[in-house]
Amino acid sequence: MKKKFVLLTAFILLLSSFSFAESKKEDELVTLTNVPSTLVYPSFWHTPFGVHRGTAFWLKVFLGNKTYFSDPQDVATTKMLSDYGGINPGKDDWQLTAFGVNSGRGEIIYNVSMSGLAVYGNVGTGDGEFNRPTGISCNEYGDVYVADTGNNRIVRLFYKDGKLRFIRNIGKGGSGDGEFNRPLYVKLDSGGKLYVSDNGNNRIQVFSKSGGYLYSIDQTKGISNPRGICVIDDGQRYLGYKQNYMYVIDGNFNRLQKFDLNGNIVRGVRVDEKLGRKVVLTTLDYDYYGNIYLVDYFNSQIHKFSPDLAYITSYGSYGTDDYKFEKPTGISIYRHYGQVIVSDKESAQYFWIGSDVTNFRVGRIQAVPPVNAMQFDFFLTEKSFVTMEIELDKDKKVTVCKNIQLEQGENSISWEIPLEYVPLFLPGMTYNTNIRVMATYSSYPHIEKVEKASFIY
């Protein structure tokens, strides 16, 4: 019985609460090499027994015959205000509540605080029943909205004391104001307004907190076949740069568009053209700095774009090993601590936001007359603290920079060799440079990425 309880606790902490546990080693530092690190797995003491991926096996163990994975779709996470201080009184203790759409069985799988998992709903057309639901959104007050795609409606639920209860249905099948034709995804803004991607009607519909229809953003504004949606507004908590925009995946599963909240298009990007390959984009979310993370079902990847839709990087590939996804379908980011949940065919993975460095190049600055100076060029996938060292020999290193903060994207540093080190740099000799990067939050200060580059002086 004791063994079962320990296993249950581990699973609940991963899939249910996704807690950011207090570290038993606050000075713990994990150094990553030769692995992708735009998203990183939390260090051991910040996970339940080092587990970061919940699978169908664990679902079977702890919910038995109550349910099984059947076409899982979107996921939503938040920290309930009612749970504030549940672990550390008076502090934000990082415990989240997660809701996942188990579409094939018409269910919402969610956690009951730190003590268990629960299932709500079944297949049907009645109150609290679903027909191939897709998207889900929630907030810290307990409001939960589900895109009940097959029933052409939005279902409003409320979470309190570990239970979901039905509140009301919004809308019905049709093309009029407040009616739906295959609603796919939903998103709440900071004021409680609800945004719905009404896929079959080629529009985004916006509703008041009470569920009343407000307005639509349709094909006249450039919307076509909308899918995933996220809304950034300056009332959001834990947002580094205040802004007011809506991001929509539309087109042939291949376009990302940015609108202001009045529905005016700001810019768009064809993701398939940018990457040079086919994509099937489903949904998206954004982080503390407003970067956009797109779920690509076809390539089993997460694509990261800047707030202005500049491509940053792609993460993952198909598979069930670490750093891989098995046809991902949903993503949710809790911005305060950069906690990222990605759902796929038969699992849910827990990440922190990290930083990666690519295209690291080092060379001597060419000038007439010659100068004792170096150039360091590299690309960061996240705003980062950066440290660089040059190995002069096996016992001696010289520091180029230490913990300087740089923006994501292309970076370049020029460095004049200090006079006392000039005699140690010999013409024609090969030297190694180490660059260490660490995100400014989330995985900071526990995980760093290290890359090497060699140069001939």
DSSP bridge pairs for 203: 198
pLDDT at 18 > cutoff 80: no
Contact 48, 10 (CB under 8 A): yes
Residues 358-376, mean pLDDT to the nearest whole number? 91
pLDDT at 317 > cutoff 70: yes
Distance, CA of 371 to CA of 375 (rounded, Å)? 12
Distance, CA of 111 to CA of 11 (rounded, Å)? 11
- What band does 13 get if pLDDT is binned at 50, 70 and 90? very low
**Percentage above 90 pLDDT, the chain:** 80
Using one digit for the tens of pLDDT, what is the confidence trace for 188-206?
Answer: 999 999 999 999 999 999 9
Residues 33-56, mean pLDDT to the nearest whole number? 83
Better pLDDT: 351 or 52? 351
Q: CA dist 267 to 128, 242, 310, Å?
A: 38, 18, 11
Residues 21-38, mean pLDDT to the nearest whole number? 76
Residues 143-165, mean pLDDT to the nearest whole number? 97
Q: CA dist 163 to 57, 111, 267, 355, 412, Å?
A: 24, 9, 41, 37, 52
pLDDT at 328 > cutoff 80: yes
Which pLDDT score, from 0 to 100, does residue 20 have? 40
pLDDT at 12 > cutoff 60: no
Using one digit for the tens of pLDDT, what is the confidence trace for 217-230?
Answer: 999 999 999 999 99
Provide the H-helix boundaries in 12-166: 56-63
Residue 275: what are its φ and ψ, rounded to 5°?
A: -90, -20
pLDDT at 17 > cutoff 70: no
- Taking the alpha carbons of 130, 226, 145, 40 in that order, is the dihedral positive or negative? positive
Which pLDDT score, from 0 to 100, does residue 124 have? 98
- What band does 22 get if pLDDT is binned at 50, 70 and 90? very low
Which pLDDT score, from 0 to 100, does residue 219 have? 96
Q: What is the 3-state secondary structure (H, E, C) of 191-248?
A: CCCEEEEEHHHCEEEEECCCCCEEEEECHHHCCCCCCCEEEECCCCCCCCCCCCEEEE
Which pLDDT score, from 0 to 100, does residue 85 have? 72
Q: What is the dihedral of CA 86, 87, 92, 97, to 10 degrees?
A: -60
Task: Please identify which residue in the block is written with the tokens 């980011």.
Answer: 333
DSSP bridge pairs for 293: 285, 304
Using one digit for the tens of pLDDT, what is the confidence trace for 92-119?
Answer: 667 789 999 999 999 999 988 656 789 9
Name all domains of the chain by residue range, CATH numbers in brackets: 2-353 (2.120.10.30), 357-456 (2.60.40.10)
Q: CA dist 4 to 85, 109, 158, Å?
A: 27, 21, 31
Mean pLDDT value across the chain:
91
pLDDT at 26 > cutoff 60: no
Distance, CA of 195 to CA of 56 (rounded, Å)? 31
Which pLDDT score, from 0 to 100, does residue 10 have? 42
- What band does 436 get if pLDDT is binned at 50, 70 and 90? very high
Most confident range (mean pLDDT) of 5-14, 41-50, 408-417 is 408-417
Residue 237: what are its φ and ψ, rounded to 5°?
A: -80, 150
Is pTM beyond 0.85 here?
A: yes
